[in-house]
Amino acid sequence: MRILLTSLLVLASFATSLEFTRAAERRPNVIYLLADDLGYSELGCYGQKWIKTPNIDRIAKQGIRFTNHYSGNAVCAPSRCCLLTGKHPGHAYIRSNGNPKDLQTLKEKYGWEFPGQFPIPKSEFTIGEMLQAHGYATAAIGKWGLGHFGTTGDPNRQGFDLFYGFNCQVHAHNHYPKFLWRNDKKEILPGNDRTLYGKTFSQDKFTETALEFIRANKDRPFFLYVPFAIPHLSIQVTEKSLAEYKGKIPEADYKHRGYLKHPFPRAGYAAMISHLDRDVGKITELVKELGLDDNTLVVFSSDNGPTYNRLGGSDSDFFESAGPFRGLKGSLYEGGIRVPLVARWPGKIKAGTTSDHPSAFWDVMPTIAEVAGIEAPSGIDGVSFAPTLLGQTDRQKKHDYLYWEFPSYGGQQVVRVGDWKGVRQGLQRKNNPNRLKVELYNLKTDPGEANDVAAKHPDLIAKIERVMRDARVPSKLFPVPVLDEE
């Protein structure tokens, strides 16, 4: 009997040890939360005074806050392409917003009310595909913008088991849509007719679906990518959220431009961000409730800078949305591409950390690969910032340069080397004799890019011009002729 009891105890001990080993070997979960057009200074942890964001601020307090993080580009689709494929805008397939040329044919063939954007090709390899190949459950919930269902850019063909939300960015311009997509099937939302108000707020559906995904996959590694659609215009939010700010934020007369008109635009805009913040809190609370905190990296960022003043009623001046930086969405000056990045991972990321390490969206893919203990794909431009996350700054590799090009808004090209930033404007304007002229700014002493010091640093200008020539390959889909002729 004693021998039997001893044997049972040994077996029990072995089983327990095996469970601990399996738990230790389980790859970490990754939750990447992405706001849409949220400015660098629209969060409390980045200095915002009017808008309350306690849950996102808590991520920063319990983890790390980056002060030199950049989006992939200055508008939605190209920025998301850089994020998901690990390539900077000189190599990324999508370099601007736009729709397929055979738009009418696609509408007739598939009956799409909204066409979707240019699809990324089959040859592109995404974060979803990378993690899916290593046993991760994957979901993209929110706004896609990289190809409709049935095309090569279909999110289900690009590494995501589940897609839920807006496939097309134009569809996402109203937050009370008639339907959302669940994979390639429409989910009708009763009570919504794409006017200012409705019965079902799309943001709430995204959060509800994200929570369902976490619960369903709590016992296996998962990657949850949530590209929220707010605070992108139109200004729309629930009455409950609006009540927090209505009458407490001063409104002002303005000439409305584009999108739907909201009767309380400043209060409505602030309420959208606080609504988003509460949803971020719901996600982090569920992770904690399920006992997944210690094995889950949570990241929050924005796809580009804040939108143009008074478009749709927004007021980036009033909220000081871009902080000390010049430019807004659509611009490769700092205000259009410098974005917030906060992350938490209890036990792995030291609480209350701030980092000035320069990083960009194309670094996210290799960072997640390193965190997950897998090899990042070859042929990408990213450099993992996992060492910075984990407090191992002595082994943090740095970029020789960061590169952007954006063929829209006149055509722009940018290189950052250390604290120096070279900028070209008006590349698509044939009547611009100075379109290849490089402006130069020292971001350490002049973060607002107010003083062009190019004339004082000819050697540095020559170096930046070489990078501008060599860091890119021409794009047939998004050409910049003056650069292709160099």
Reading the block at residue 57, the tokens are 């601020």
* Full strand arrangement of the beta sheet holding 420-424: 402-406, 412-417, 420-424, 439-442
Give the per-residue pLDDT at 99: 86
Who wins on pLDDT, 10 or 270?
Answer: 270
Q: Give Cα separations from 476 to 373, 407, 414 (angstroms).
A: 36, 12, 20
pLDDT at 9 over 50: no
Beta bridge partners of 420: 417, 442
β strands within 28-167, DSSP E:
29-35, 64-66, 69-70, 137-143, 162-166
Least confident of 95-109, 368-382, 410-424, 458-472: 95-109
Global pTM reads 0.94
Mean pLDDT of 445-474: 98
Please provide the average confidence, as pLDDT, over all residues in the chain. Answer: 93
**Residue appearing with tokens 């709590």:** 218
Q: From CA 435, how far away is CA 433, in angstroms rounded?
A: 6
User: What is the model's pLDDT at position 258?
Assistant: 93
8 pLDDT above the threshold of 80: no
Can you name the residues that pair with 163 across neighbouring β-strands? 140
Q: What is the pLDDT of residue 113?
A: 80
Q: What is the pLDDT of residue 160?
A: 98
In the chain, residues under CATH classification 3.40.720.10 are 27-395
Q: Is residue 338 over pLDDT 60?
A: yes
In this prediction, residue 103 carries a pLDDT of 63
Average pLDDT over residues 293-312: 96
Contacts of 182 (CB under 8 A, 6+ apart): 162, 163, 164
Per-residue pLDDT, 15 = 39
Is CATH 3.30.360.10 what the domain over 402-484 is classified as, yes or no? no
Distance of CA 308 to the CA centre of its chain: 19
Mean pLDDT of 174-186: 97
Question: Which part of the chain is CATH 3.30.1120.10?
Answer: 402-484
Question: CA–CA distance from 256 to each of 6, 195, 336, 448 (Å)?
Answer: 79, 16, 22, 28
Q: Is 145 helix (H, G, I), strand (E, B) or coil?
A: coil
C-alpha separations of 250 from 230, 409, 453 in Å: 22, 32, 39
pLDDT of residue 5: 44
Is the Cα torsion angle 185, 286, 299, 383 positive or negative in sign?
A: negative
Q: What pLDDT is recorded for position 12?
A: 43
**Overall average pLDDT of the 91-114 stretch:** 80
* Residue 139 scores a pLDDT above 80: yes
User: How far from each other are the two terminal CA atoms of the chain, in whole angstroms?
Assistant: 87
Whether pLDDT at 11 is above 60? no
CA neighbor of 402 nearest in space, from 57, 90, 66, 47: 90
State yes or no: cis peptide before 234, omega within 30 of 0: yes
Q: Is the pLDDT of residue 14 over 90?
A: no
Topology given in CATH for the domain delimited by 27-395: Alkaline Phosphatase, subunit A (3.40.720)
Q: Are 166 and 202 in contact (CB under 8 A)?
A: yes
pLDDT of residue 101: 74
How do residues 389-398 score in pLDDT, each as one tens digit? 999 999 999 9
DSSP per residue, 415-444:
EEETTEEEEE--TT-TT-TTTTPPEEEETT
Give me the pLDDT at residue 244, please.
98
pLDDT band, residue 115 (cuts 50/70/90)? confident
**pLDDT band (50, 70, 90) for residue 2:** very low
19: three-class secondary structure by DSSP: helix
And the tokens for 463?
A: 């170096």
Per the omega criterion (within 30 degrees of 0), is the bond before 177 cis?
Answer: no
